[in-house]
Amino acid sequence: MSAKQLVVSAGVSIGLALAAPYALAQKKYDAGASDTEIKIGNTMPYSGPASAYGTIGKAAAAYIKKINEEGGVNGRKINFISVDDGYSPPKTVEMARKLVEQDQVLLLWGPLGTPSNTAIQKYMNAKKVPQLHVYTGATKWNDPKNFPWTMGWQPSYQAEARIYAAHLLKTKPDAKVAILYQNDDYGKDYLKGFKDGLGAKAATMIIKEVSYETSDPTVDSQIVQLQGSGADVFFNITTPKFAAQAIRKAYDIGWKPVQYLNSVSASIGSVLKPAGVEKAVGIFSVEYLKDPQDPAFANDKGMNEWREFMKKYYPEGNITDVFNVSGYASIQTLIQVLKQCGDNLTRENVMKQAANLKNFEVNVLLDGIKINTSPTDFAPIEQEQMAKFDGKEWVRFGETFGK
């Protein structure tokens, strides 16, 4: 071997030695990811009984269009494949299988609905494909031990109920609490969170619990029962129609407890106005997103950016609809996860990064709310701020609650 050859071969081998691990560390792909593209699957109820939520998927798709126009994530364009499941669980199963097996997506993002996500949870975990940022408030999505491939996004019902409990313990520790709840998983989730939050005092503080069925025509008789218990605090765990009835009935029979209203029904337009805004003055609830209808955010920087985005990328969308804010915020969380993944776009690393968000902020979430996750904490948003209804709008107060 001549000296020249030696130098060349040495140079090559050193080069290889340096490059090989570098290349390995740099680029790793599972199905759905490549040097140029990341495929993301999504199911949404674009049709059917829950089609009002469909706009979340459209807002997310519009945001991805923006990201792609700006060059994508780490140089890769995102191919967002969003399909309609009509809020029908069997259809969600079919569509999830289509996205995973036929379209070969890297992950499934933001499927909407508790029954729909329940239907595919076992499948996604068996296939080891991330089921990321699911759109439902049930607490069971935060279960990394049994379902390491499933993660929620929005605050869970239990987390919200714990906030009310904390507020109550601080402001009225000797309260006598009456609770009305919907008799299903959603209602029981809130109930559990509230009791957990009160801790040992739950047994003495809660003096009456009454439930109702969604098939009940009204909750009037339940409200009369609760008043009869002599409670001075009322926790209202009801869906919009029943929430309006409960607020009105309590006022009409002269029951004036301190009221906590679950955020499911914190809509001014569909609950408080039908109940009568004067009857709802002083009610407590929580918020985590900036409401586009709230005058406080008329000149907010984050909301102005959102309005610009809506005008440019989703002009047919409704700029008073809070779901469009929600889709915009949640998809940014996914983009952050993908950014953190770098060139290691394996499904395993996606889950690892999704569980590794540190103080991530989205400017349409209320100021001070930070997204944090860890390998044992699969609940991205756990902070919310309390608000009190003044007869016209929700007035936020105090610090943000939650972790």
Partner 1 sequence: MTTEIALSAAPAARPARSRLAGLAVLFIVVCALPFLVSSYTTFQLTLVIVYSIVLLGLNILTGYNGQISLGHGAFYAIGAYVAAILMDKYGVPYWATIPVSGALCLVVGFLFGLPALRLEGLYLALATFALGVSMPQLIKYKGIDTWTGGVQGITILKPDPPFGLPLNQDQWLFYFCLAVAAVMFWLGWNLLRGRVGRALIAIRDQPIAAEAMGVNNAMYKSLAFGVSAMFTGVAGALGAIAVQFVAPDSFSIFLSISFLVGVVIGGIASISGAIWGALFIQFVPNIADQISKAAPWAIYGVFLIGFMYVMPVGVAGAIRIFWARMKRKAGSSPQRSG
Shortest distance, CB of residue 207 to partner 1, whole angstroms? 23
Nearest to 182 by CA among 262, 256, 99, 294: 262
Q: How far, in Å, CA of 73 to CA of 305, rounded?
A: 20
Please report whether residue 98 would count as binding partner 1 according to CB under 8 A: yes
Q: Which of 184, 305, 367, 390 binds partner 1 (CB under 8 A)?
A: 184
Shortest distance, CB of residue 130 to partner 1, whole angstroms? 18
* Residues 310-349, interacting with partner 1 (CB under 8 A): none
Q: Which of 27, 28, 29, 89 binds partner 1 (CB under 8 A)?
A: 89
Pairing state between β 37-44 and 107-109:
parallel
Please report whether residue 102 would count as binding partner 1 according to CB under 8 A: yes
Q: Which of 68, 84, 270, 370 binds partner 1 (CB under 8 A)?
A: 84
Number of residues that bind partner 1 (CB under 8 A): 37
Please report whether residue 215 would count as binding partner 1 according to CB under 8 A: yes
Residue 60 CA, chain-centre distance (Å), reads 14
Q: Which of 37, 69, 101, 361 binds partner 1 (CB under 8 A)?
A: 101
Q: Which of 68, 118, 218, 270 binds partner 1 (CB under 8 A)?
A: 118
Nearest to 284 by CA among 158, 191, 167: 167
Q: How far, in Å, CA of 402 to CA of 368, rounded?
A: 11
* Residues 26-55, interacting with partner 1 (CB under 8 A): 46-49
Shortest distance, CB of residue 78 to partner 1, whole angstroms? 17
Considering the complex, state which of residue 53 and residue 297 has its C-beta at the smaller distance from partner 1.
Answer: 53
Q: Which of 82, 139, 285, 344 binds partner 1 (CB under 8 A)?
A: 82
Q: Which of 97, 128, 312, 339 binds partner 1 (CB under 8 A)?
A: 97
Q: How far, in Å, CA of 334 to CA of 242, rounded?
A: 35
Binding site for partner 1 (CB under 8 A): 46-49, 57-58, 82-84, 86-90, 93-94, 97-98, 100-102, 113-116, 118-119, 121-123, 183-186, 213-215
